[in-house]
Amino acid sequence: MATLGVPLGIALGGLSANAFTPPGPLDVNAAVEKGVAYLDTRQNTDGSFGDNYPIAETALALISYGVRDQGDYTTLSAARQTKVKNAVAWLLSQQTTNASDSNGVFGPADEYPTYYTGLALAALSFSKGTNAGVTNGITAGRSALIALFQGPTHKPTEACTTVTNWQYCGGYNYDFGTGRSDESNTGFGLTGLELTGGVPAALATLDVGWQRNVQEIASNTHATQADGGGSYQPGTDYTPFVSNANDTGSLLFGYGYDGVPAADAGVQAGIKFANDVLDVYELTKATRDGVYHAATNEEAACVPGANGCHWQFEGSSEGGYHYSMWSLSKGIGEYVSPNLADTSNFYAKVADLLVTQQSADGSWPQNGRDDASVIGATGFSIFALGLAAVPPPAVSGFTASSFHSGGTCSAVHLSWTNPAAPNYGGVQIVRRTDRSPNSPSDGTVVVRANRPATTFDDKGLAVNTTYYYGAFSYDTTGSLYGPEATATTNTTTCGDGAGVVALPATGGGVPLWPLGAMLLISGLGLVMIKRISLPRWGRVGVGAR
């Protein structure tokens, strides 16, 4: 995804939401370690965590350990490795394994299966190698989430469109019940899929339509406001559920997981609103409550309750402050590079708000129902922060291959696989024509691609030239770089098998275009016929020369 500038939030009365000193990377990491140390003391004898919602709380605890160990549990102490293994074993024991429609869900099919399964899959994505059942558990869990999706893959099948069935088509309900979706369940369902292999294309296409229906924006005919925020359900008029912090974050990472580009008007409006939320939080550190906006148009940050201010606190019944910190961090982070040193950047605000609130025992306090518990609030906070001062692993499978652009061999397709490390923020790709780059600034910067991007086309290059590319991964602060991956290509030729072109044939089975013929094809340039498919002579393979 491309990077967008983060708008500044100015409060009523001249107060600035950016008037703070952000914590340093080591402070963030210390907060994560302190939070995990608190969780060390909260594990039950059966391996689970928590009391009221043990599946969700155990999943969030495992995610926290995964943040701390960057997805490699063997780097933990022996004692923590045992805790993680026991927690994974307990979590897997809560998965339904039978031939019913609910096969693969975590917990009872009538008790929040979308929440639980989405969180459990996120936890298992951080827990590879801890248990032989993890791979099968993820596979079955993905199948369950696909079956829970409100659309053609649902069990039982729902034939719907996001136009005629705008209230629910393309989202997630609490359970297998039909005809209902909400942004909270949808966010957890999509997260479970994204972290275990991605959101299937068919689901993403429908979900984009549902996300459009739930955003408070003028282009949405079902909206009750036009401030850019995300709401709990399309068309809702219950004000605490309209344009609120939690659902705006889920809206944004939903767009990101579905592949909606940063230039999209809905994405830009959502980012603006989400940053307003963080600015409100910066102005109200004494309250620490989830917020929503109750006015038609977007409004800069101000103190809820102040004269002329339309921002409101959710109150103790809803809350969700730490849930919203997680969703906003992941949502904005799909499109904006994190920068801990820049007080106008979302990540600096998230880090400031969370590090300054952490309790002496390492936990974060529960805020209302939506934080679930102290363990839930702590897990959400650690997930939002990530590690800040540890370089992420390099991308893998980095390749560069030249291709035709504008009739000449003057473009290079770059592709790579992102590491699973939770502190991986993206990759900066640099090129030179004399040697491989030695650092992120050693050469021409081609692209700074935030996760989850895995491809980029470098166009407008010189022909007959060798290009050396270096891909430098960066962390969630946007400032700490990991090891380099390299790739080399040249634009002298654009490779055999540049494409397959359908060409006309003469009658009688005799090809019009013999092997070895040279053709000038628009968009490809001068090519040689390399192969002809039988028996119809209708498809000709061409290779650049």
pLDDT digits (tens, 9 = 90+) for 351-372: 999 999 999 999 999 998 888 8
Contact 527, 503 (CB under 8 A): no
- Please, what sign has the CA dihedral across residues 239, 240, 246, 250? negative
Q: pLDDT band at residue 528, thresholds of 50, 70 and 90?
A: low
Q: pLDDT band at residue 535, thresholds of 50, 70 and 90?
A: very low
Which of 414, 268, 280 minimizes the C-alpha distance to 335?
A: 268
CA distance 193 to 201: 11
- pLDDT for 520 equals 58
> Left if phi > 0, otherwise alpha if psi is -120 to 50, otherwise beta: which for 305?
left
Helix (H) or strand (E) holding 59: helix 54-69
Residue 76 is encoded by which pair of tokens?
């933990």
pLDDT digits (tens, 9 = 90+) for 176-226: 999 999 999 999 999 999 999 999 999 999 999 999 999 999 999 999 999
CA distance 412 to 399: 10
- pLDDT for 102 equals 79
Decide which of 111 and 217 is more confident.
217
- pLDDT for 341 equals 86
- pLDDT for 485 equals 86
Q: pLDDT band at residue 268, thresholds of 50, 70 and 90?
A: very high
Question: At residue 161, what is the residue type?
Answer: T
Q: How far is CA 58 from each of CA 89, 163, 191, 218, 334, rounded to the nearest angstrom?
A: 11, 38, 16, 40, 26
Decide which of 6 and 495 is more confident.
495
Contact 538, 511 (CB under 8 A): no
Q: Which residue has the tokens 């000193």?
A: 21
Given a cut of 50, whether residue 174 has pLDDT beyond it is yes
Decide which of 441 and 347 is more confident.
347
The mean per-residue pLDDT over the stretch 134-145 comes to 96
Q: Which phi and psi angles does 245 have, rounded to 5°?
A: -65, -50
DSSP state letter for 422: T
Number of continuous H segments (helices) and E segments (strands) in the chain: 12, 13
CA distance 426 to 532: 42
Q: How far is CA 330 from each of CA 84, 395, 488, 491, rounded to the nearest angstrom?
A: 24, 20, 33, 38
CA distance 375 to 39: 7
- Please, what sign has the CA dihedral across residues 197, 123, 385, 438? negative
The fold adopted by the segment(s) 12-385 is Glycosyltransferase (1.50.10)
Q: How far is CA 158 from each of CA 151, 175, 178, 179, 522, rounded to the nearest angstrom?
A: 5, 14, 8, 9, 44
Residue 533: how many CB atoms within 10 A of its CB? 12
CA distance 349 to 277: 11
- pLDDT for 171 equals 98
CA distance 131 to 425: 27
CA distance 88 to 47: 8
**Angle of CA points 268, 174, 218, to nearest 5°:** 25
- pLDDT for 111 equals 87
pLDDT digits (tens, 9 = 90+) for 284-324: 999 999 999 999 999 999 999 999 999 999 987 788 999 99
CA distance 506 to 55: 67
Given a cut of 50, whether residue 270 has pLDDT beyond it is yes
Residue 254 is encoded by which pair of tokens?
């939903």
Q: How far is CA 464 from each of CA 56, 241, 480, rounded to the nearest angstrom?
A: 56, 58, 35
- pLDDT for 15 equals 55
pTM to 2 decimal places: 0.76
Given a cut of 70, whether residue 3 has pLDDT beyond it is no
The dotted CATH code for 396-490 is: 2.60.40.10
- pLDDT for 411 equals 92
Q: Which of 246-250, 401-405, 479-483 has the lowest mean pLDDT?
A: 479-483
**Angle of CA points 140, 176, 145, to nearest 5°:** 30
Domain layout of the chain by residue ranges: 12-385, 396-490, 499-544
Query: Residue-wise over 391-423: b if at least 16 C-beta within 10 A, else e?
Result: bbbbbeebebebbbbeebbbbbbbebebbbbbb
Contact 172, 114 (CB under 8 A): yes
Given a cut of 90, whether residue 164 has pLDDT beyond it is yes
Helix (H) or strand (E) holding 322: helix 321-333
Q: Which phi and psi angles does 312 have, rounded to 5°?
A: -135, 150
Given a cut of 70, whether residue 507 has pLDDT beyond it is no
Decide which of 420 and 92 is more confident.
92
Q: What share of the chain has pLDDT > 90, as a percent?
A: 71
The mean per-residue pLDDT over the stretch 413-419 comes to 94
Which of 241, 334, 336, 358 minimizes the C-alpha distance to 290?
A: 241
pLDDT digits (tens, 9 = 90+) for 42-80: 999 999 999 889 999 999 999 999 999 988 899 999 999
